[in-house]
Amino acid sequence: MIDFATFDQLRAATGTEIGVSDWFLVDQQRIDRFAEATGDHQWIHVDPVRAADGPYGRTIAHGFLTLSLVVPMTAQVMEFSCARMAINYGLNKVRFISPVPVGSRIRGRFTLNSVTDIPGGVQAERTVTVEIEGEAKPACVAESIARYLS
């Protein structure tokens, strides 16, 4: 874990890989809880029997479940003691490259693309690549934007 103690330290890390999170297990219980929270009960996610005959041979995680796990992955990789608060400002681009089959483990790889000054703090844009253990292609690549306020 890297702790950015100053905004200058954050700026100096521009263009570098910040770190890689631990692996997160995507089991059926996590998928089902996400389906309950979002109301997305598509069979390819929540019906193991039907999904066994589907295109992936088993259930797969929702793309947005994969994306939502970027939050705890980020918390494992970086800390911002330079800021009194952080705000998720959004995403520039998200691509779901490969499905995440139930039972897979995923992790996030973070690269800091840019840091710009904003009133009261900085805005950081980073690329997050969500990798699937044992797979060549990532599950997801997203350009994430956060604001850090002093």
pLDDT averaged per 10 residues, the chain (length 150): 95 97 98 98 98 97 97 96 95 97 98 97 98 98 97
Rounded to an integer, what distance in angstroms lies between the CA atom of residue 122 and that of residue 108? 22
What is the model's pLDDT at position 63?
Answer: 97
Q: Which domain holds residue 53?
A: 2-149
Amino acid identity, residue 33?
R
Number of domains making up the chain: 1
What is the model's pLDDT at position 110?
Answer: 98
CATH number of the CATH domain containing 47: 3.10.129.10
What is the model's pLDDT at position 69?
Answer: 97
Rounded to an integer, what distance in angstroms lies between the CA atom of residue 112 and that of residue 18? 7
What is the model's pLDDT at position 105?
Answer: 98
What is the model's pLDDT at position 50?
Answer: 98
Model pTM score? 0.95
